[in-house]
Structure 1
């Protein structure tokens, strides 16, 4: 019998449909949000789905904040919060990737002691920020995590038209976020048969979505559900996540690419310690081995195998290692042997070439 202690996730209402964005007006009314600030990125603000969002929100819009950039700088978060205060907003509608949603969640976090604003999240990517109580921001170049159950969005709108409005090279690569949550969650601390169910179903949906890329609506819908399932369990992740949270802002590489490359490398390193766990991953991805399955998915999605191909300077690896050691060597099912062991993993992540025997 396996012993575990797990608290079910707290999540808001989740609405999924081929044209789910058309229900936004009714959703805002149900939540009694009379004045909202629309939050998005400059590129998303030019998309047709943003026009649909504006039409649906109508006269409830009291402001538009379309300046969100990757990694959610705290300066931008404060600008958003100040706009909400000045305009008397009682909520946010966040349309975009994890940085957009985290910016709205971080703005909520700043006001938790005074005002309880709520957020409706309309994700365009597959990082799962729409259902978690954590907002990852950057403050003076350093990654910071803000966490509180009260910042979980009150509602999530899953409309496949939203990711489909972005270039496919961006949305396809973003699936690596959900894949990384599954691979690390299945070997992470606090896992249980209950959390396994979330991750394994998410992996199956990812595999189905990859197999149906020629049907964009079906693929995007599968990836959206997979991202939510992969983010809900909140199991302690393995070393790859700790590396990515330092590497991505420092090396200025996208989180999804970093998760795909580093996750695959750490997975290869960890494999000897968790053969039973990797057998589950292989089965869910319909592959001979877990690493084969993950590599096949990442290759099909267009994720580079190495950080070098993503434009990362090899000289930055030592800076990443030092930053990780300063905060404490990341935990992993197969322990990492100090700075040398960490640099070896980073070096293979950079080249994309995995050794036969670690």
Structure 2
């Protein structure tokens, strides 16, 4: 049952649902009680938000239903912290998990609920859980504690059934996947996000842009790959429509937010754009080297969104230089979405680009610069001495084999990393 003023819809199949239009604490209490019948709620809140009136409002609204609180998760989700969460959930007999904050909290919640369901309370058990989930998810117990995510960034992790955790003994990040992982409900409140630091908000928006861009350029769209669906549905056309709509919402709204942070309509458009991006990707689209290399930059201290800022332009340029006519065609399709918005087009023109000559990598790089975000690896503290190790780690990532242009050895990854190391000159 929805409340007056609430918009409630299904974002993905089979979950999550989305609630928007209400103050987040009101929506959370309503669904905690009415949708989940929860009486022992565990909250994970970012350390920054925990010091604000926003968190006070949530706790006071939920009252004595709050059974426990975790303050903060270290970026890139250390496995040790996932295990602490899993133990808390089990010992407190939590019947609902609520996250209030950005992407690391979301990932930690997903993996912790999965670990608790399977009594994985050590790093060794967590490693085994990852290994066993890959060949046969049905052999493991599904998540039993429902989750509500209240995001304060645009990372979008709340919409997919996978989560990452990092073993800092090896600095390798592992992805955990299971059909039951992830939130049952996502509550969107644009007003809550105004206090999110500008760089965090805008860079997480670039992560969503990266989902759309690598999605539109994906091998999924090669003839014969994406295929048709039941009833003669053209799945490739459906996915393309989602991803283009995602860009149409995200790109102009991010530029508006850069200029007018208090504009709640723009923030709402960005949040809805994230959903469109992930609706497309959920239908089978594979990511490429921007994500594949980026997963290995995370454990080195680079934020998810900033990874996309510094890697996506160079990946697009490298793919264009080494790809075929099909690669060029897909990048042109992506470019159409950038130039279709008058707000974005004017920004690109002010950067010295023209529609006739600018490539996809140039357009993305100019857009990132217009947002005031880092544009190369050196901007995020990664020097040439790191490239060799990055290339080796990237070759083990699941998204490298699905890059639109085949990457067969680490020398090719090194070529991309060299391109991304320093700020390139903009081609006009």
TM-score by length of 1: 0.90
Please tell me whether the aligned partners of residues 92 and 120 of structure 1 are also in contact (alpha carbons under 8 angstroms).
yes
Residue 59 of structure 1, CA deviation: 2.0
Query: Does residue 25 of structure 1 match 2:20?
Result: no
Residue 190 of structure 1, CA deviation: 3.1
* Aligned partner (choices 74, 82, 91) of residue 86 of structure 1: 91
Q: Say if 1:78 and 1:310 are closer, same or farther in 2 by CA, change over 3 A.
A: same
Partner-residue secondary structure (3-state), 1:333: coil
Q: Say if 1:157 and 1:324 are closer, same or farther in 2 by CA, change over 3 A.
A: same
Query: Does residue 276 of structure 1 match 2:329?
Result: yes
Please tell me whether the aligned partners of residues 154 and 274 of structure 2 are also in contact (alpha carbons under 8 angstroms).
yes
Q: Distance in 1 between matches of 2:58 and 2:366?
A: 36
Query: Does residue 205 of structure 1 match 2:267?
Result: no
Residue 280 of structure 1, CA deviation: 2.3
Unaligned runs of 5+ in 1: 1-7
**After the TM superposition, which residues 1-358 of structure 1 pair with which residues of structure 2 at under 5 Å, given as runs?**
9-17=13-21, 19-29=23-33, 30-112=35-117, 113=141, 116-140=144-168, 141-191=171-221, 192-213=236-257, 214=260, 215-232=262-279, 233-234=281-282, 235-249=285-299, 251-271=300-320, 272-273=323-324, 274-286=327-339, 287=345, 288=355, 289=358, 290-326=360-396, 330-336=401-407, 338-353=409-424
Q: Say if 1:47 and 1:229 are closer, same or farther in 2 by CA, change over 3 A.
A: farther
Q: Distance in 2 between matches of 1:87 and 1:260?
A: 40
Q: Say if 1:219 and 1:47 are closer, same or farther in 2 by CA, change over 3 A.
A: farther
Q: Distance in 1 between matches of 2:87 and 2:104?
A: 18
Residue 224 of structure 1, CA deviation: 1.1
Please tell me whether the aligned partners of residues 290 and 312 of structure 2 are also in contact (alpha carbons under 8 angstroms).
yes
Deviations along 1:141-164, one digit per CA (max 9) or x if unpaired, are: 210001112112000001112321
Please tell me whether the aligned partners of residues 48 and 165 of structure 1 are also in contact (alpha carbons under 8 angstroms).
no
Q: Distance in 1 between matches of 2:335 and 2:19?
A: 31
Residue 115 of structure 1, CA deviation: 6.2
Residue 129 of structure 1, CA deviation: 0.6
Q: Distance in 2 between matches of 1:339 and 1:117?
A: 41
Please tell me whether the aligned partners of residues 41 and 69 of structure 1 are also in contact (alpha carbons under 8 angstroms).
no
Q: Distance in 2 between matches of 1:55 and 1:189?
A: 49
What is the alpha-carbon root mean square deviation over aligned residues? Answer: 2.1
Partner-residue secondary structure (3-state), 1:220: helix
TM-score by length of 2: 0.76
Q: Say if 1:263 and 1:18 are closer, same or farther in 2 by CA, change over 3 A.
A: farther
Please tell me whether the aligned partners of residues 147 and 184 of structure 2 are also in contact (alpha carbons under 8 angstroms).
yes
Partner-residue secondary structure (3-state), 1:331: coil
Q: Distance in 1 between matches of 2:306 and 2:245?
A: 22
Deviations along 1:54-107, one digit per CA (max 9) or x if unpaired, are: 233222210000131101111111111111111111121011111100111111
More off after superposition, 184-193 vs 126-135: 184-193
Please tell me whether the aligned partners of residues 108 and 163 of structure 2 are also in contact (alpha carbons under 8 angstroms).
yes
Residue 326 of structure 1, CA deviation: 4.7
Residue 244 of structure 1, CA deviation: 0.4
Q: Say if 1:49 and 1:277 are closer, same or farther in 2 by CA, change over 3 A.
A: farther
More off after superposition, 255-264 vs 41-50: 41-50
Partner-residue secondary structure (3-state), 1:111: helix
Unaligned runs of 5+ in 2: 1-11, 118-140, 222-235, 340-344, 346-354
Q: Distance in 2 between matches of 1:276 and 1:196?
A: 13
Deviations along 1:295-318, one digit per CA (max 9) or x if unpaired, are: 333122222110101111321111
- Bigger-Rg structure (1/2): 2
Q: Distance in 2 between matches of 1:200 and 1:74?
A: 36
Partner-residue secondary structure (3-state), 1:334: coil
